[in-house]
Amino acid sequence: MDIKKTARAVHGEVIKWRRDLHRIPEIGFDLIQTSRYVKAGLDQMGIPCQTAAATGLVALIEGGGPGPTLALRADMDALPIKEQTGLPFASENGNMHACGHDAHTAMLLGTAKIIMGLRERLKGNVKLLFQPGEEGYGGAEKMIADGCLENPAVDAVFGLHVGQIFPEVGTGEVGICEGPILAASTAFEVTVKGASTHGALPHLGVDAITVSAEIISALQKIVSREIDPLNSAVLTIGTIEGGEALNIVTPRVVFRGDFRTLTNSDRDFITVRLKELCGSIAGANRAEAEVEILGGYPPTINEPRATEKVIAAASDLLGPDKVIPIKKPNMGTEDMSLYLEKTKGAFFVIGTGNPEKGIIYPHHNSKFDLDEDTLWIGPAVFARLVIDYLGLPED
């Protein structure tokens, strides 16, 4: 089968699906319309599916013979952003697909259509994971808890992301690297408790603001003085709340942030040191500090052999010059990482920005868009991976 030709043939449908989904962006797990739309598409193709993670879908395409099971994942949720693209198919409900998940979903539907055309010749199975709640809601965790990687057990999983995540990956190019490609992220909240007093009598109280300032300054030294300088890490305090009057010593401050690393060992180390520093500095100032780890995602780590398969598939379809080795991981996060902790696989990116068309805005921007001419690439690479894993003989 000529996968490139077949992917080009479904390209128009992928664009239509993407535009339809772009009009109805939904948040978190509340993907009622989106899930209904995807299910209708799967039903039309004759692909059975089950619900997972509230509004997620797990579709199964069984091949004509026994073999491994390959999973392909697309996230479906959008963002609470008011769209300002001016597109004729712009959002109709005040949310926005500002991260390209509409394209991910449409490309996986396109992949499903290609696979159904060769299903009887496959030796094994293909699972299609349509996931809600990627944007900070832990959707992958809930999909896994609901058994998306079982019955039959998944042997490998692949996912993709569109946009301009890596500047070296140009329009219509595929970017990938072995090992970490995206960072781990861990969110936290710290509550500093002191004692209130009048500003004229500071010795009678414990100032939670000055204690918090000392803690925040010290936390930055974890990265600058306690992490190997050759390892990437960043710690950010994003919000701080406290105080009621300008002449009152504040008894309580709450600040929140997150830290990002490329290894689990650095993530674990920072978690321990965060708690130690908050407790010891607060104690030294006669205050108390409560630290709550709010959760996060592990690093997205590509398994070597799976990475090689993506490179081979994309090179065959696009040419080796269109497959770009990513030199430096991005400190952004993806809950694709949770699937990759459970089974081998890889995550790759497709360059869908295009300065010549004015498509230059980053993810999570109210003017984010993508070059639809590139949308055949995802189904093509996914389908080629299916053939490589399930042993379909070439025509």
Asked if 206 and 332 sit in the same domain, the reply is no
Asked if 67 and 43 sit in the same domain, the reply is yes
Residue 395 located in a structural domain: no
Residue 176 located in a structural domain: yes
Asked if 190 and 176 sit in the same domain, the reply is no
Which helix or strand (DSSP H or E) is residue 154 part of?
none
Asked if 240 and 126 sit in the same domain, the reply is no
pLDDT score at 364 = 96
Asked if 269 and 326 sit in the same domain, the reply is no
Please tell me which residue in 137, 297, 361, 389 is annotated as part of the active site.
297
Picking from 265, 295, 325, the residue at the C-terminal end of a domain is 295
Which spans in 59-207 are helix H?
Answer: 101-116, 139-145
Picking from 240, 271, 295, the residue at the C-terminal end of a domain is 295
Please tell me which residue in 26, 135, 173, 372 is annotated as part of the active site.
372
**184 contacts 298 by C-beta, under 8 angstroms:** yes
Residue 135 located in a structural domain: yes
Asked if 18 and 153 sit in the same domain, the reply is yes
Distance CA 203, CA 62 (A): 73
Give yes or no: 37 in active site.
Answer: no
- In 3D space, the residue among 355, 356, 351, 357 whose CA is nearest the CA of residue 381 turns out to be 351
Give yes or no: 372 in active site.
Answer: yes
* DSSP-derived secondary structure letter, 207: -
Predicted confidence pLDDT, tens digits, the chain (395 residues): 799 999 999 999 999 999 999 999 999 999 999 999 999 999 999 999 999 999 999 999 999 999 999 999 999 999 999 999 999 999 999 999 999 999 999 999 999 999 999 999 999 999 999 999 999 899 999 999 999 999 999 999 999 999 999 999 999 999 999 999 999 999 999 999 999 999 999 999 999 999 999 999 999 999 999 999 999 999 999 999 999 999 999 999 999 999 999 999 999 999 999 999 999 999 999 999 999 999 889 999 999 999 999 999 999 999 999 999 999 999 999 999 999 999 999 999 999 999 999 999 999 999 999 999 999 999 999 999 999 999 765 54
Asked if 12 and 137 sit in the same domain, the reply is yes
Distance CA 300, CA 339 (A): 9
- In 3D space, the residue among 110, 187, 156, 114 whose CA is nearest the CA of residue 336 turns out to be 156
Distance CA 141, CA 150 (A): 14
Domain boundaries, position 80: 3-180+299-390
Return the CATH number at 346: 3.40.630.10
Return the CATH number at 241: 3.30.70.360
Asked if 246 and 368 sit in the same domain, the reply is no
Picking from 250, 269, 295, the residue at the C-terminal end of a domain is 295
Distance CA 75, CA 90 (A): 19
User: pTM of the entire structure?
Assistant: 0.92
Which spans in 185-303 are helix H?
Answer: 208-221, 264-284
Give the count of domains, the chain.
Answer: 2
